[in-house]
Amino acid sequence: MSSAKPLRLMAVHAHPDDESSKGAATMAMYVAAGVEVMVVTCTGGERGDVLNPKLAHDPEVAANIHAIRAAEMEAAREILGVQQAWLGFVDSGLPSGDPLPPLPEGCFALVPTEEAARPLVKLMREFRPHVVTTYNEEGGYPHPDHIACHQVSVAAFDAAGDPGLYPECGEPWQPLKLYYDVIFTKEKTQALHDAMVAAGLESPYAEWLERWKDRDSRPVTTRVHCAEYFPVRDAALRAHATQIDPDGFFFKMPMEMQQAVWPTEDFELARSLVDTEVPEDDLFAGVRDRVCP
């Protein structure tokens, strides 16, 4: 995959840790192949719950959560081998209750999309990605920051190449492809569940399969074979120690089984300004011929 003109991939995420649970093995694979990869993190994750039970009641963690999450992001960044930039917005938190409480003043999800897209347009024009990944219009799940991340990413993808928009943000640059992360589908969840049951292991996926009964999976257009980098992904996940339970759901399936049963990370092609045919096995399908003729 290497070339004289490096390919560039930008992955836009809502919080620190999202980059390690969504498309991380794909990023690590492309980094190893000589692709320049930048993770953009929209918020600092300040309002995220501490999900590691070993740290959940540590007063030092609660008092220093912003700095701790930044340090965790730096550790994960180093493990993945990517570049990383913060957009600088404040975590909105995940509201709960009935009725839902209002979002906190000044948080990311309340910033108008046109305003929130400005720093991302600037980053796109500076880094000049050929491919951008982010979340679908549902945010992958309905966290207000994930939905805002989708809206801002799509707005910036459309605006970055337009010289009439955000002229103060640098020379226009048009990314060529936009993808949405597809983390789990019914088909993937079923395959992982069946493998665990067949091996006589307790499956953590049974409850998830119940949820799929009432909804369809997102379409998958692109399956990137990156099983070799699943251990890198897991190491990056564990670096987010306040957010990931090392004995939790993400690590229940033996690595060798996961690599054999579902060796890809999956994506939905949302926009393409180059000719490509789906299904794909490469986020740069159609881009390589344009960039590296």
Number of residues written out for the chain: 293
> What distance in Å separates the CA atoms of residue 38 and residue 170, rounded to the nearest whole number?
18
User: Distance (Å, rounded) from C-alpha 48 to C-alpha 115?
Assistant: 24
What is the number of other CB atoms lying within 10 angstroms of the CB of residue 75?
17
Q: Nearest CA to 271 among 75, 132, 145?
A: 132
Binding-site annotation: residue ranges for Zn(2+): 15, 18, 146
At 4, list the tokens: 């004289």
Cα gap 251→163, rounded to integer Å: 46
